[in-house]
Amino acid sequence: MQSFPGGFQALIIGSSGSIGSAFLDLLRLHPDCAKVIGLHRHSQPAINFENEESIGQAASNLSKQGPFHLIINAAGILHTPHFTPEKKLSNLNYAQIEKTFRVNAFGPALILNYFSKLLHPAKGVMVMLSAKVGSIEDNRLGGWYSYRASKAALNMFLKTAAIELQRIQPNTTVIALHPGTVNSNLSKPFRGEQIGRAPVEAVREMWQVIEGLQPQDTGKFYSYNGQVLPW
């Protein structure tokens, strides 16, 4: 089922990453996509989840280029040169928790605030890339404390925003989407090159889910294969 009209406009946040850039490439080649814009820390306008002001400013700068039928947030963090996912409680520290939450939860929460206003009133879809490990019900292995918790927080921000937006923007659909294991910089230290799919393949699968979304699907947590995941 095709849910986007001819000439639709899209915006990819985190477009310099493996998944974000693959979404950008897919939409540039899509025959019905009239315009797609990519945002990242060095784009114009720039967007940096470490800088709260940049999020609102980017939305303001793009307001005249909208409305957008589709906005995807593909930005996220799992590790840096300074830390890896915590395997046990004794690894927890404020710096890692705060950094992970800023990128995976706080920044996306402000995206929901500022960028939902840029969605097309007749048909608007906002997709937040989440992760299955953020599912509380599905957590059977433990570990990866900050990453799991930040994605669970993202999911709650999204679910709550979806309820509010359903009242004031009834044609808006907001979902969390699990991309699966992708061969990317995020997964590279965890055998991503061996077990992950190529970004172009992962994006093609996620696009099939996105393209079929309808307003009644808002507030759900999907996997790349269309399965609805538990919160």
- Tokens standing for residue 104: 């995976």
Residue 104 pLDDT greater than 80, yes or no: yes
Residue 1 pLDDT greater than 50, yes or no: no
Report the pLDDT value the prediction gives residue 192, as an integer from 0 to 100. Answer: 43
CATH number of the domain located at residue range(s) 8-223 in this protein: 3.40.50.720
* Closest by Cα among 106, 153, 103, 158 to 128: 158
pTM: 0.92
* Closest by Cα among 112, 5, 104, 70 to 210: 70
The answer to whether the beta carbons of residues 219 and 175 sit under 8 Å apart is yes
In three-state secondary structure terms, 110 is: helix
pLDDT in tens, 187-231: 466 654 565 689 999 999 999 999 999 999 999 999 999 999 999
Mean pLDDT estimate for the chain: 93
Count the neighbouring beta carbons within 10 Å of the beta carbon of residue 60.
Answer: 13
Q: Residue 35 contacts by C-beta under 8 Å, 6 or more apart in sequence?
A: 9, 10, 65
Report the pLDDT value the prediction gives residue 190, as an integer from 0 to 100. Answer: 61
pLDDT in tens, 175-194: 999 999 898 666 466 654 56
pLDDT in tens, 22-75: 999 999 999 999 999 999 999 999 999 999 999 999 999 999 998 999 999 999
What percent of the chain has a predicted confidence (pLDDT) above 70?
A: 94
Which residue is it, tokens 């899509």?
A: 30
Specify the higher pLDDT residue, 145 or 81: 145
| 80 confidence band (pLDDT: 50, 70, 90) | confident
- Determine which helix (DSSP H) or strand (DSSP E) holds 54, and give its type and residue range: helix 52-62
